[in-house]
C-alpha cells in the first residue's frame, strides 16, 4: 500500500471509530510530496484545458513539474495560496437549456484534488448507504441495482425527484458549518472558503439574481465531495421523512445519486416531509422533475427504465430494467454521424469502425446488467446498414 492510501485508510478509521472527532493539522498532508504528486497525476488524467492564466498541463510539463509542485507546496505551507478566477464555460443540454460550468487553473485543480484526497476518507465514514453519486466503489449501476432490490422487495410506489439548481443554491455558511463538524484545521477551512468566494464572484458577475453566499462550482474537482457533505444532511433525515434504514421494516427507502433521487415504498408517499427536510437546508424540489408513480407504469432513473411486469397478483411479478430509449437513440445518432459522408469524414473505414465500436462498448459497459438485447440489436442493424453505405461511398 502506498503512503497516500495508507494515510487515507488511517483517516477513515479514525473518523469511523469516533463520529464526533474533529481533525486538526491536516495541512501537513496538503504539503506532502506524495499527496502533491498523486494529485498532479490525477489532474493529468482529466481535462488538460487551461484556465484564466492560459497555462495548460502541457505547458507545466515543458517548464518543469517538480518546480511547479514545489512552488505550490511553499505557497500552501506559508499560507500564501489563493485561488485564481474561474473561466466560465457553457454546455448546451439535450433539453435546450444551458449548463454553466467553470474551468479552474491547473494550479487550483491540483490543490483541489489534493484536498479531496485528504477530506474524502474523513467524510466517507459519515456518508449514508443511500448515497451513490461521486463516491469510491459506488456508481449509477449500483444505484440502479439498489432500486431494483427494493422494488423486488415489494416497494412498488415511487416518488421521483431531483433538487432544484442544487449546485447553485447550496448556502456557504451552512456548508462551512457542516464541514466544521469534522475539520478543525482553520487553514484547510480557509482554503475551502476561498474557493466558495471565487465561485460567488464568478456567478455575481454573470447574474445578479444569485446570492453572494450561495453556490459551489459545477466542474470543480472538490465540488462533488462538497455536494455530498452537504446533502448528507438530507440522507440523515430519513427517519423524519418517513424512511427507515435497511435494518428495519420501514415504509420507504431512499436511493440518491448526487441531487437526483427516488423514494420507494409499499404505500403512497407523503411528499410534504421530504419538502420540509430540504427546506431546512435551504433547498427545494424541482417541480418539473417531481412526480409519484407505480412500478406498473414504469419510471426512469439515472438513464435506466424500470417497469413491473405483473401477472395475477398486482404485487407479485417481475421487475425489468432496460436502457432508456434516449440512450439507445444517442448511440444510433453517433453511428449515423460517423458514417455520413456529408459530415466530411474522410477517415479510413477501419478507424471509423474503431470509433463506432468504442461508442457501443461504452454504452454496453453502462447497461450490461440490464435487459439490453433489444437496444443492442438495433445498434447492430444500424451499424451494418450505415457502415455498408459508408464503405461503398469511401471506395468510390
Indicate whether 246 pLDDT > 50. no
Indicate whether 301 pLDDT > 90. yes
Q: How far is CA 270 from CA 263, 264, 265, 287, in A?
A: 11, 12, 10, 15
Q: What is the mean pLDDT of residues 306-314?
A: 71
Q: How confident is the model at residue 207 (pLDDT cuts 50, 70, 90)?
A: very low
Sort residue 47 into left (φ over 0), alpha (ψ -120 to 50) or beta: beta
Indicate whether 315 pLDDT > 60. no
- Contact 257/143 with Cβ under 8 angstroms? yes
How confident is the model at residue 100, as a pLDDT? 74
Sort residue 257 into left (φ over 0), alpha (ψ -120 to 50) or beta: beta
All residues at 6 or more sequence positions from 347 whose CB lies less than 8 Å from its CB, including other chains: none
Instruction: Give residue for cell 490525477.
Output: 42
How confident is the model at residue 91, as a pLDDT? 75
- What is the strand order of the sheet 260-265 is part of? 252-257, 260-265, 157-162, 291-294
Indicate whether 237 pLDDT > 80. yes
Q: What is the mean pLDDT of residues 208-225?
A: 80
Q: What is the pLDDT of residues 44-78, one digit of tens each?
A: 998 778 889 999 999 999 999 999 999 999 999 99
Q: What is the pLDDT of residues 364-377, one digit of tens each?
A: 999 999 999 999 99
How confident is the model at residue 209, as a pLDDT? 40
- Contact 43/110 with Cβ under 8 angstroms? yes
Q: What is the mean pLDDT of residues 248-266?
A: 86
- Range list of H helices, the chain: 3-17, 27-30, 33-45, 57-63, 65-77, 106-124, 140-152, 166-169, 172-180, 186-206, 223-236, 272-280, 325-339, 349-367, 373-395
How confident is the model at residue 385, as a pLDDT? 75
How confident is the model at residue 146, as a pLDDT? 97
Q: How confident is the model at residue 208 (pLDDT cuts 50, 70, 90)?
A: very low
Indicate whether 396 pLDDT > 70. no
Which cell is 95 given?
433539453
Q: What is the pLDDT of residues 262-298, one digit of tens each?
A: 999 999 988 999 999 999 999 999 999 999 999 999 9
Instruction: Give residue for cell 518546480.
Output: 67
DSSP line for 11-49: HHHHHHH-TT--B---HHHHT-HHHHHHHHHHHHHS---
Percentage of the chain with pLDDT > 70? 86
Q: How confident is the model at residue 259 (pLDDT cuts 50, 70, 90)?
A: very high
Q: How confident is the model at residue 171 (pLDDT cuts 50, 70, 90)?
A: very high
Q: How confident is the model at residue 351 (pLDDT cuts 50, 70, 90)?
A: confident
Which cell is 215 given?
453556490
Domains (ranges, CATH) in the chain?
3-126 (no CATH), 139-165+238-320 (3.30.70), 325-395 (no CATH)
- Contact 265/157 with Cβ under 8 angstroms? yes
Residue 355 phi/psi, 5° resolution?
A: -65, -40
Q: Higher pLDDT residue, 394 or 220?
A: 220
Q: What is the pLDDT of residues 180-206, one digit of tens each?
A: 999 999 999 999 999 999 987 665 555
Amino acid at each position: 500500500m502506498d503512503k497516500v492510501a495508507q494515510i487515507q485508510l488511517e483517516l477513515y478509521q479514525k473518523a469511523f471509530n469516533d463520529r464526533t472527532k474533529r481533525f486538526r493539522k491536516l495541512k501537513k498532508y496538503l504539503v506532502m510530496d506524495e499527496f502533491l504528486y498523486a494529485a498532479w497525476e490525477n489532474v493529468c488524467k482529466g481535462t488538460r484545458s487551461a484556465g484564466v492564466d492560459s497555462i495548460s498541463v502541457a505547458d507545466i510539463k515543458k517548464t518543469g513539474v517538480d518546480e511547479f509542485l514545489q512552488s505550490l507546496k511553499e505557497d500552501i505551507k506559508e499560507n500564501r495560496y489563493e485561488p485564481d478566477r474561474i473561466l466560465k464555460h457553457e454546455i448546451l443540454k439535450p433539453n435546450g437549456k444551458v449548463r454553466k460550468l467553470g474551468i479552474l487553473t491547473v494550479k487550483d485543480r491540483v490543490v483541489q484534488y489534493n484536498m479531496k484526497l485528504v477530506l474524502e476518507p474523513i467524510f466517507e465514514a459519515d456518508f449514508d448507504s443511500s448515497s451513490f453519486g461521486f463516491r469510491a466503489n459506488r456508481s449509477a449501476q449500483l444505484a440502479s441495482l439498489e432500486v431494483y432490490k427494493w422494488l423486488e422487495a415489494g416497494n412498488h410506489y415511487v416518488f421521483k425527484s431531483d433538487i432544484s439548481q442544487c449546485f447553485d443554491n447550496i448556502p456557504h455558511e451552512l456548508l462551512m458549518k457542516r464541514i466544521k463538524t469534522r475539520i478543525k484545521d482553520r487553514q484547510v477551512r480557509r482554503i475551502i472558503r476561498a474557493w466558495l468566494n471565487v465561485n460567488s464572484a464568478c456567478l455575481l458577475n454573470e447574474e445578479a439574481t444569485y446570492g453572494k453566499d450561495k453556490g459551489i462550482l459545477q466542474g470543480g474537482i472538490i465540488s462533488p465531495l462538497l455536494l455530498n457533505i452537504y446533502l448528507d444532511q438530507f440522507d440523515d433525515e430519513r427517519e423524519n421523512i418517513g424512511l427507515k434504514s435497511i435494518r428495519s421494516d420501514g415504509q420507504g427507502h431512499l436511493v440518491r445519486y448526487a441531487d437526483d433521487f427516488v423514494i420507494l415504498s409499499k404505500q403512497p408517499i407523503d411528499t410534504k416531509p421530504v419538502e420540509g427536510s430540504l427546506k431546512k437546508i435551504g433547498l427545494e424540489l424541482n417541480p418539473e422533475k417531481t412526480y409519484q408513480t407505480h412500478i406498473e407504469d414504469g419510471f426512469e432513473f439515472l438513464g435506466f427504465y424500470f417497469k413491473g411486469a405483473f401477472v395475477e397478483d398486482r404485487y407479485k411479478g417481475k421487475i425489468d430494467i432496460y436502457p432508456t430509449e434516449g440512450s439507445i437513440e444517442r448511440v444510433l445518432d453517433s453511428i449515423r454521424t460517423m458514417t455520413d459522408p456529408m459530415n466530411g469524414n474522410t477517415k479510413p473505414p477501419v478507424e471509423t469502425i474503431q470509433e463506432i465500436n468504442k461508442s457501443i462498448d461504452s454504452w454496453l459497459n453502462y447497461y450490461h446488467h440490464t435487459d439490453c438485447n433489444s437496444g443492442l440489436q438495433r445498434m447492430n442493424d444500424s451499424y451494418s446498414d450505415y457502415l455498408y453505405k459508408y464503405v461503398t461511398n469511401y471506395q468510390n
